[in-house]
Amino acid sequence: MKKFKKQNHTKVALFAGATALMALTPNLHAQSSVDALLNKLEQKGVLTVDEAKALKTENATNSAADFDAAMNSKFPMPSWITSYKFSGDFRGRYDEQTSDNPAVVERDRLRYRLRAGLTIDMTDNLEVGFRVGSGDPSTATNPGFTTSTGNPLSNNQTMADNASKKPLYVDTAYGK
């Protein structure tokens, strides 16, 4: 039993270390071809530093405008919607339950919480929102059928049951 427990702790420690390393890694952005060309012209002395910065700023502004125009052509927004906002978060954690009492079953769990939502602002100061969240099912058996209502106290989902499908529940739905 000790050897199995030690191997399990090693796997969990490796998983936690890899997760922490990924979280601490800075975001790397690829350099665009325009930025690379401007940097090279600056190095050759064709452009001054200020001219290169001005051109990079102008390029970034034009890129954002081009992106917005492309998005509006692919996904046009009705006139009655003024804005929309996507939101969400993910949290992962390791849960170890141990005891000195030999009658207690020790267990290790990997758990996560996932939430994703959308808020839409409309004309006349109207706003609607909708969010879904993960969570372990809380089943209730009624005569003739079983209903799964989710856990109202926690959005935590345990990674168990041999990679079975995990449910999502309506976490928030509102209009104001």
Q: How confident is the model at residue 6 (pLDDT cuts 50, 70, 90)?
A: low
The whole model's pTM is what?
0.53
Q: Is pLDDT of 143 > 80? A: no
Which residues face 129 on adjacent strands?
Answer: 119, 174
φ and ψ at 165, to 5 degrees? -65, 140
**105 neighbors 127 (Cβ within 8 angstroms):** no
Paired sense of beta strands 145-148 and 81-97, if any: unpaired
Q: pLDDT, tens digit, for every residue of 44-61?
A: 888 788 888 887 777 766
State percent of the chain over pLDDT 90: 18
- Domain positions in the chain: 30-76, 79-176
pLDDT greater at residue 168 or residue 12: 168
Mean pLDDT to the nearest integer, 123-145: 81
Distance of CA 139 to the CA centre of its chain: 27
Q: pLDDT, tens digit, for every residue of 100-113?
A: 888 888 888 888 89
